[in-house]
Chain A
């Protein structure tokens, strides 16, 4: 590809390359390294293009996911804002199913606080408080992230184009109304094979997961989009992501939202 020029690259081509990498579970190098013209706006265009193709092949949009919601990860990537990406029904993992390894390249798990929207939420001007008023129920979640880039080595634009390292996600059995929870102090204990690997509370997500939801609504508004009633929103990893090895067991135990156990496949 060393002979590529800016004219040959486009958001559509980036979407094609990354969807093919996903479908064939083959990792590749950074696209931005090959095409420095891949800026953030183009990366989101590639993400939207890929979503349109997922829908065209029969998938349904189920919601959104946020990435880079912790200060530590933002510093690591040299950014000061989170990023958003799309969820479809093909990414929803039924409760009790193992991690579908055959569809994934190098899965990692992270525990998340998940919102299901009772009302449409449209920016701009959404605050954490007005965002929370649109939330119907709060669930525990485990997101299995995956990356189409070798070794999870990517730039911010690379990751955004790659639908923020989306893989599959599973939500807990208990949905609680948000007004009954102090989400900043809702804790999660992340275990792998019965050993506690990490712990965190909802405050690790931008100070409060409601801030992540407000950010998503406001940033989508810049693209003329809104968060729709019934959508699922994964608010961002509470801890660092842990690799999911074959045969391993990942569990996330939440203070009030219950536990999720997932077989590594």
Chain B
């Protein structure tokens, strides 16, 4: 893809947010689009958001679990940017008009206490950089119609990012075996999914290492205070306006996300 194609595709995806209706896949117009093209399209949107005075507050890793990889038919993770406007409060209605076709995922969120700069980051480096973890729910969403996405489509679409709801109890890593931490996900009071931290690339820490090394190769450092969502411990579950999602994560407590009622 040339520079104009990248800009045009970024504009089309930005328009999907504003129109509140999804658009066709990137690869429908550009069947030869590469992952590099896709990240350039993502970056163009992040730059537009920051021009509009939003700011990058962290990253998310997507397609990190076998369950999600099977669901999406891909074999590798991807990353997206978390901006300030994506952060919502637990138990407070999240405006449903913000989302087109939202799904919810339970995660263990890392909050960094020091910079993490790849390449060459090890698990030991990652552990030292994490100040604490928080229980979290991620709202994933797609600006591509019916979630009919290839990895190029989701990467171009900011790794299908949507929103983040962080819980309130910070726990140091030393108190947890993140690999074997269990979680349940209830939607409207019904148990819909269960899982363990190891579903995320073997361990959520592996995901943090992958992210640091992947963005590090692009010259990006993960900054102190930034939030990293390492990936879902379960399959993503659709969420409709008015729905409540609760995750309970062993050792971390619960987080409740409330998607607000239908808006005009």
Contact = CB atoms under 8 A, between A and B. Distances in A.
A193 interface: no
Contacts of B199: 189, 196, 198-199
B184 A199 contact: no
A184 B198 contact: no
Contacts of A255: 177, 180-182, 196, 250
B180 A203 contact: no
B191 interface: yes
B184 A196 contact: no
A202 B180 CA distance: 13
A253 B198 contact: yes
Interface string A177-196: 00000101111110000011
B66 interface: yes
Contact of B66 (A182, A185, A196, A207): A196
Nearest to A183: B182
Given A196-B198, A200-B196, A185 B183 contact: yes
Interface in B200-253: 202, 233, 248-250
A238 B67 CA distance: 15
A201 interface: yes
Nearest to B202: A196
A221 B166 CA distance: 47
A253 B194 contact: no
A255 B199 CA distance: 13
B194 A201 contact: yes
A258 to B, nearest CB: 10
Contact of A186 (B182, B195, B248, B249): B182
A200 B248 contact: no
A241 B59 CA distance: 34
B179 interface: yes
Interface residues of A, number: 23
A201 B198 contact: no
A154 interface: no
B191 A188 contact: no
Nearest to A208: B191
Contact of B250 (A187, A189, A200, A207): A187
A204 B184 CA distance: 9
B191 A185 contact: no
Nearest to A256: B180
B66 A253 contact: no
A197 interface: yes
Nearest to B182: A187
Contact of B67 (A198, A202, A203): A198
A86 interface: no
A189 B66 contact: no
B196 A187 contact: yes
A44 interface: no
Nearest to B186: A203
Contacts of B184: 184-185, 201, 203
Interface in B171-198: 177, 179-184, 191, 194-198
The 4 closest A-B pairs by CB, nearest first: A187-B182, A187-B196, A199-B196, A201-B182
Given A185-B183, A187-B195, 5 more contacts: A196-B198, A200-B195, A201-B250, A253-B180, A255-B181
10 contacts: A187-B196, A187-B197, A189-B179, A189-B196, A196-B198, A196-B199, A196-B202, A200-B195, A203-B191, A255-B181
